[in-house]
Structure 1
Amino acid sequence: MSLNLHLLRLFAAVAKTGSFSRAADLLHISQPAISKGVRDFELQVGCRLLDRTPKGVRPTREGAALARHAETLFAAERAAEDELQALRNLDSGSLRIGASTTIATYMIPEYLGIFHRAFPGIDLHVVSANTSDIAALMLGHEIEIALVEGPVEDENLTSTAWRTDVMGLIAGPDHRFAAAPGPIDLRQLNDEILIVREPGSGTREVVAQALAAHRVEPQRTLEIGSTEAIKQAVAAGVGVAMVSMATIDDQVRLGKLKVIPIKGVPIERTLWQLKSPGRLEVPAAVAFEGIIRETKAAKTSRARAARA
């Protein structure tokens, strides 16, 4: 049995929106046409795909399975359309970038500016989420560039190092650590409230690994799903946190946060670019990667010149 892709598209729209009327609006066709198309599709596949309820519709077990495949299929279709458009030239098209929260907020805006000035006709779309969510988007062909904070173990993805990020311990200006005459011992965190990111965050994973390596287990932890919110909580004296040094310049200059040096424990992490092996890269993605490499090389050269 070969699936009718037009009918599959109608069913997928209803499954996604949970409503025949919303699906009709999404696809710009009439609601009766949607209803008839879904009925014909159910007859074709030989089973009920949607349960009709007073509150709308929801996929059956078979419908949910088919909807997942439909999502992958239509994502591949969009990727093909984008690639064909991009192959013509870099004067038009789009580039979808997924980045972990810290990277999206503090690191890639510089690259976005350079790219936009070089290729103003390319529409940029940036998705900010935690590492696990970005990996899922890359697997689903929803993005062309994936930049994340933590390592991802998935046989369907490859990880390539693209930047080193320095982590630092921060405290509020009135915290006892702020008055320390020199670097503190990492074990002093055992008596502190450590503010951490949510599960799935690359930052949280790196911090957890660093503490476990030194057998440090803070007395209490507080989970907050935003680096900005974590910094505000630290500044208010709620606890301490380990964050990327790239995220704190403004607050340190204003005296709202203080970086606390740690004895003999530099904490660095590798930032990763995820790719899907075998997937053709659109020229816009290749150009963006080139900007990342060139910017890194220029910064390295300036740093060496400054040390000379």
Structure 2
Amino acid sequence: MSLNLHLLRLFTTVVRTGSFSRAADALHISQPAISKGVRDFELQVGCRLLDRTPKGVRPTREGQALARHAEALFAAERAAEDELLSLRNLDGGSLRIGASTTIATYMISDYLGTFHRKHPGIDLHLVIANTRDIADLMLAHDIEIALVEGPVEDDELESRAWRTDVMSLIVDPPHRFAGAKRGIEGAALCDETLIVREPGSGSREVVAQAMAAEGIEPRRTLEIGSTEAIKQAVAAGLGVAIVSSATISDQVTLGRLKVVQMRDLQIERTLWQLKVPGRIEIPAAAAFERIIWQDKPFAEVA
């Protein structure tokens, strides 16, 4: 059985958007045409692919399997189109980069600037998400470059150590730790509220593992979904946090945060590039990789 690729595209768009009307808008065709196309496709493959509910549509088990392969197929199609454009001395096309939050906010802008100056015809798209989400986007062929802050255990991905990042304990200036000129023992954190990122964050995982190894368990934790918001919460006296040193220079300079040394606990983490083994790399991705591995637009964080 040969799949009708036009009908496959209609079905995949419905799955991605969650409704026939949104799929019709995305493809610029009528909703009846979408509905008929999906019905014809289900007849062709011989099974129901979508469950239709009052709240929208969702794929059946068979639909989920087919959609997964379809996304990979259409990602390969986009990659072929991008490669054909970019083969002309990288004069056109696009590059989709995924980076976890700290990397995207504080570390990648100089690399993007270097790439843009060298290849101004390439459209850059930066996706910011936590480590697990970036890994999923890479597996789904939605991005060509993936830079993350935490280790990813996935047999379908290859992790390459990229940079080393030092983590620092920050407090507000009135905090009792702020005057400790010789630093503190890590055990002192057991009496504190530790402000942490959301589950799936690479920085949260690294800090949790380091503290668990030393038997340190904070009195309570406060979960906040961004490093910027964590810094503001610490400055407001809501607790202490352990964050990337690359993220704090502005607030330390302004006197809103203090860095406190931990005498017996030094937390460093490796930043990673994720790759899918065997995937054909478009030239724009290869050019960006050369920049992040060879060019050093700023000093290492370590």
Matched, 1:190 2:190: yes
Change (3 A) 1:298 1:176: closer
Q: How does 1:163-182 map to 2 (within 5 A)?
A: 163-182=163-182
C-alpha deviation, 1:31, in angstroms? 2.6
Deviations 1:158-196 (A, max 9, x none): 111111111100000111101223211111001111111
C-alpha deviation, 1:118, in angstroms? 1.2
C-alpha deviation, 1:15, in angstroms? 2.3
Looking at secondary structure, tell me which structure has more helix per residue.
Answer: 1
Report what 1:250 is aligned to: 250
Deviations 1:51-78 (A, max 9, x none): 3344443333332332232222222221
User: SS of the residue aligned with 2:37?
Assistant: helix
Report what 1:27 is aligned to: 27
- CA–CA distance in 2 between the matches of 1:18 and 1:183? 53
Report what 2:90 is aligned to: 90
- CA–CA distance in 2 between the matches of 1:99 and 1:179? 36
User: SS of the residue aligned with 2:87?
Assistant: helix
User: SS of the residue aligned with 2:177?
Assistant: helix
Deviations 1:127-150 (A, max 9, x none): 111111111111111111111111
Query: Identity, % of aligned pairs?
Result: 77
Query: C-alpha root-mean-square deviation of aligned residues, in Å?
Result: 1.8
* Matched residue type, 2:106: Y
- CA–CA distance in 1 between the matches of 2:57 and 2:267? 50
Q: How does 1:1-308 map to 2 (within 5 A)?
A: 1-296=1-296, 299=299
- CA–CA distance in 2 between the matches of 1:187 and 1:220? 14
Give the aligned length. 301
Deviations 1:224-256 (A, max 9, x none): 111011101100001100000000011000000
User: SS of the residue aligned with 1:180?
Assistant: coil
- CA–CA distance in 1 between the matches of 2:240 and 2:125? 34
Q: Which segment is superposed worse, 60-69 or 90-99?
A: 60-69
* Matched residue type, 2:188: Q
* Matched residue type, 2:207: V
Change (3 A) 1:209 1:19: closer
- CA–CA distance in 1 between the matches of 2:149 and 2:126? 16
- CA–CA distance in 1 between the matches of 2:292 and 2:61? 44
- CA–CA distance in 2 between the matches of 1:198 and 1:114? 31
* Matched residue type, 2:25: D
- CA–CA distance in 2 between the matches of 1:142 and 1:54? 29
Change (3 A) 1:268 1:52: closer
Q: Which segment is superposed worse, 61-70 or 285-294?
A: 61-70
* Matched residue type, 2:294: E
Deviations 1:5-55 (A, max 9, x none): 111111112222233232222112233322221121111111222233444
- CA–CA distance in 1 between the matches of 2:289 and 2:232? 33
Q: Give me the TM-score of the superposition, normalised by structure 1.
A: 0.92
* Matched residue type, 2:124: L
Q: Give me the TM-score of the superposition, normalised by structure 2.
A: 0.94
